[in-house]
Amino acid sequence: MKNDCIFCAIAEGEIPCFKVYEDDLVLAYLDINPCSEGHTLVIPKAHYAGLLDVPDAALGEILSRVKKVAAHIKEALPCDGFNILQNNGPAAGQSVFHLHFHIVPRREGGEPLSFKSGKGDMAALEALAARIRL
């Protein structure tokens, strides 16, 4: 596996994912341990460990894709709102050291956000990715 990086392996198709969106720059797929229905990760296909490692111009392009995917998810699920989360360093809860943005859909009256929660149901994730794929 390149860089021993699981997200590089997903970007290269070596490890499967429940894809929501892909273009030349980014890949978006469901988090396997979601903290809400539709919890999606947006990653650049290129490897950057975290926010401080990505050039500004590339970051701007990546963020435009985060916005595009979030807007789509908000309509496709649907949901009432969403959180964008991006962790940097173990102290901040980063566990995969390939830059990624969490899109966490939220609903009025829903559960409070518990960032590390849930056990992924693979069949449900596969069906949901098929339903909301952009």
Min separation Cβ 69 and ligand 5GP, Å? 14
Tally Cβ neighbours within 10 Å of residue 8.
Answer: 18
Rounded to whole angstroms, the maximal C-alpha distance in the chain is: 42
Distance CA 73, CA 104 (A): 10
Binding mask 38-77 for Zn ion (x = CB under 5 A): ---------x------------------------------
Q: Which residues bind ligand 5GP (CB under 6 A)?
A: 6, 17, 29-33, 41, 87, 93-96
Min separation Cβ 46 and Zn ion, Å? 8
Query: Would you say 43 and 100 are in contact if contact means Cβ atoms under 8 Å apart?
Result: yes
